[in-house]
Every structure is written in structure tokens, then in C-alpha cells.
Amino acid sequence: MAFKIYKTSDSDELSEFSFEYLPKDVISIAYNYRSHGYDGNGFLVAMSIDGLVYAYGLNHCSCYDPISSSSHDKYKIEDLKEKLSKEFYEGIEKLIPYL
């Protein structure tokens, strides 16, 4: 893993295995994730080397990883509010300053 990681103080750890699903151009990530045993949820933003960000809704069940089931769309930070749903944007908005 060659990128900076920030997680919120109330977040559970994501495993290094989960990070293998991130695109190779990621230089830093910030996330908030809560595991509930066999399932979990949260949000993750990842800064790419070109200055664009990936936004992930982290959901999982016992049959798949939180990051593996997410899309890999890139956005300009200033476009996130317009491109994402209100709930999704509110989930990642507080993470953006840590990238």
C-alpha cells in the first residue's frame, strides 16, 4: 500500500485486503466505515494522482467486500455535490478535507 490513509475516530478498520480493490492511481483515502458483523456500511473518498476523486458507498455482506462492489467513477471535487445523490454527498463531504 503506497497511499496515505485517514479514517474517522468512530470508524472500524478496513482490511488491507479491501484496499487491493482500489484503482492503482490512488494517492490518499479517507473513510468512515461501521461493521455490524456480517454486514456494514460507510463512505470512502480516494484522491487519484491526477487530482480527481473516487467516491465509494461502502456496503457489504458476508459474501463480498465493501470496496469490491463499488464503481470506479472519477469526479472533480467541485462536481461531487452535483453528480452524487444528496445522501451520498453528505456522507463523503466531511471526508474530503483529509485527502
Cα–Cα distance measured from residue 85 to residue 99, given in angstroms and rounded to the nearest whole number: 21
Domain spans in the chain, listed from the N-terminal domain onward: 4-98
Question: pLDDT per residue over 1-37, tens digit each?
Answer: 689 999 999 999 988 888 988 999 999 999 999 988 7
Average pLDDT of the segment spanning 60-76: 76
Supply φ then ψ for residue 33, to 5 degrees: -140, 135
The size of the chain, in residues, is 99
- For the entire predicted model, the pTM comes to 0.88
Phi, psi of 41 (to 5 degrees): -155, 165
Which residues neighbour 50 within 8 Å (Cβ) at sequence distance 6 or greater?
A: 25, 74
